[in-house]
Each structure stands twice: as structure tokens, then as C-alpha cells.
Amino acid sequence: MPLSHTPAATCHLLSPSRRTHLPALCPRAGATPAAATAAEAVAALLPGGLRAESLPRHVAVVMDGNARWARARGLPAAAGHEAGRRALEETVRLSRAWGVRALTAFAFSFENWSRPKVEVDFLMGLFERVIHDSVAEFLREGIRLRVIGDSSRLPISLQKAAREAEEATRNNSQLDLTLAISYSGRRDIVQACRKLAQKVDAKLLSPEDIDESVFAMELETSLAGEVPCPDLLIRTSGELRLSNFLLWQSAYSELFFTDTLWPDFGEADYLEALVSFQSRDRRFGARKL
């Protein structure tokens, strides 16, 4: 579900009360002693029940339930979206603090264009403000931003804000944050097929050379660093479907569904999802002897 805007919605994506300056994430093999010390500091931030070595590297979230949350309280939908924005802020903060390498949030689906124009215009303005106002915070916290989806339908000003934010944060490495706006998993697959067909037609590629890795490089998530596919996909609000989100990329994702509405999704809910993930036996089709 998309974020929303009330007078407070022009605040930074990471609100002032949550601007915790956190240490660097866990290093890879061969890391320097300083990096190892930073990794120990991150591990110290993990709540009980989480093991740093078996955290998902990439978490994807279908943020659902904002409007229902608002209706249950007799509030306008905008209030629910604003509460949903705060839930995303908290999830971003916790992801970085706990050592998750990438977080992808479904903000606006391609199908959402069928909503009333006044609502769509409102949401586009909100996304632009949130992205623009978050750049300085992302730079301080080492967060790299990417926006995926059909950008051709986005307002020019939003396209510009997204490009500028992506460029400004491209060297950050603490957390890869991807916002899926005007995104469709099916469309992502179709556009990848078109790109490959064009390359074959131009004699730049042979059909025999196309395999899963070549295909994946044409998906919109191909720029998502070392972890383009989510290890864990979370959906809130009790709905038990993917809703056209990361269909190719989630082939082997562990799925976690919760009845919690997105605005109420907090640390305890995220911890429950991560602990559930760590209890899964991920075999990727193989049989352990």
C-alpha cells in the first residue's frame, strides 16, 4: 500500500526521533579488523532470538492495510497512509540496524493507476516529497535508494526527484532501499522479454545464450546489487497473495503473512517474521542426505 500525506508527511522518511546513527553492517570474508569490529557492534544490536549469520539478506514487503486501519478508527485514508509511512520508516531503521542488506517496499502497483485521479495525483505528490526530503538522511545513514516500476507514467517532477536521489545515494552501501512505484511483476517479465528479443533481432545475442541469469539481468531489479531476489517476502493485513509483486524474483522467497495491518507493523512484528525465516529449512529443490 502506498504512503500518504498529512501536514506531517513532508517530514523525512526517517523521522528525527529515529535518526539513530548506526555502525556499518557485517563484513564479508577477509574484512579488515575495523570492519570486523563494526560487525560485532551490529550483532550486539540484534534482539534475542535473531542470529546474524542467518538473517535474510533481502527483505521485500507488501505494505497493505492502511485504509482499513484508518476506517477502523473513523479517520480519513490519509491518516492511515501517514501511519503506514511511519511503519516504513521503522522498518527501514530496523533493517539497517539489524544487518539486512536490502529492503524492497511495494509502494504503488501498476494496477493502482485505476484508482480515482485525485487519489493518484495525491500519492504521486507524496512520493515526490518523501524522496526529496529523505536524501540528506539517506546520505547520513548510508542508505542507497532505487525506484523501480514504469517511470513513464510518473509525473516528470517525480521522475526527476527519483533520478536525483538515486544519483546522490548511489555510493551508499549500508542498506539498499528500493521503492516499487507503478510496478508490476508481470510487466517486469514482459519488458525483460522484449529487451532480449531486441538484442536477438539486432544479432547482439543468440537465443541459445539466454538462460536464467541472462534473463534476470534484464529485470528491473538487476541493479539491486548482490541480492536482487528477496530471501523473505512479508505481506501484512491478512491477505494471502503476492499481488503481482516480484513474481520472478520471489520464486524461492520464504513467505510470511501476518494479520497485522501495515500501520501497526512494528519491531515485534518484524522480529516475528525474521525469527520465522530463521526456522525455515531452505533446500532450493535439493534433498539433504
Which residue, 1, 263, 247, 220, is CA-closest to 108?
Answer: 1
Cell of 10: 513532508
Residue keyed to cell 531452505: 282
Instruction: Report the distance separating Cα 115 and Cα 209, nearest Å.
Output: 41
Q: What is the dihedral of CA 203, 209, 213, 217, to 10 degrees?
A: 0
Start-to-end CA span in the chain (Å): 42
Which residue, 17, 10, 18, 262, is CA-closest to 131?
Answer: 10
DSSP state of 47: P
Instruction: Give Cα separations from 37 to 34, 41, 94, 115 (angstroms).
Output: 5, 6, 20, 49
Q: Which parts of the chain are beta strand (E)?
A: 58-62, 102-109, 143-148, 175-183, 232-235, 254-257
Residues acting as catalytic residues:
64
